[in-house]
């Protein structure tokens, strides 16, 4: 089984930082913030194993991207493949409007 290199861009790091900040500062929930970070790390590890097997997005403007869901939270990561590397570009909550955020 192929192991993919996984790179997180500055954009996805900013997305993750914003979600964690919201949980820590707005919701005052350190446990939730830590759980989200753990889930993110586990999802990145899972992506290194299955990046090539997931389907591209159906939106013609975004079909260079694939999506992987975090297992225990209502978030997902958008990534693209370049040779043997999965590049994670963004992280979204299920309630966010993907079209608005990406266009």
Q: Looking at residues 19-44, what average pLDDT do you find?
A: 98
User: Do the beta carbons of residue 69 and residue 79 sit within 8 Å?
Assistant: no
CA distance 86 to 79: 6
Of 15-19, 88-92, 99-103, minimum mean pLDDT range: 99-103
Domain 5-102 in CATH 3.30.2310.20? The answer is yes
* CA 3 to each of CA 39, 83, 85, 102: distance values in angstroms, whole numbers, following the listed order: 20, 12, 9, 28
Q: Looking at residues 36-50, what average pLDDT do you find?
A: 98
Residue 14 has pLDDT above 90, yes or no: yes
Residue 1 has pLDDT above 80, yes or no: no
How would residue 100 be classed by pLDDT, with cut points 50, 70 and 90?
confident
Residue 95: the pLDDT is: 94
Is 0.85 topped by the overall pTM? yes
CA distance 99 to 62: 9
Domains in the chain: boundaries: 5-102
User: Do the beta carbons of residue 93 and residue 19 sit within 8 Å?
Assistant: yes
């Amino acid at each position: 089984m192929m192991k993919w290199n996984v790179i997180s861009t500055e954009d996805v790091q900013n997305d993750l930082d914003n979600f964690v900040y919201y949980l820590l500062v707005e919701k005052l929930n350190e446990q939730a913030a830590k759980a989200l970070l753990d889930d993110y790390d586990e999802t990145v590890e899972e992506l290194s194993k299955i990046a090539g097997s997931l389907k591209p997005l159906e939106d013609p403007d975004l079909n260079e991207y694939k999506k992987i869901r975090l297992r225990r939270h209502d978030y997902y990561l958008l990534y693209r493949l370049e040779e043997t590397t999965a590049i994670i570009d963004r992280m979204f909550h299920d309630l966010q409007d993907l079209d608005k955020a990406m266009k």
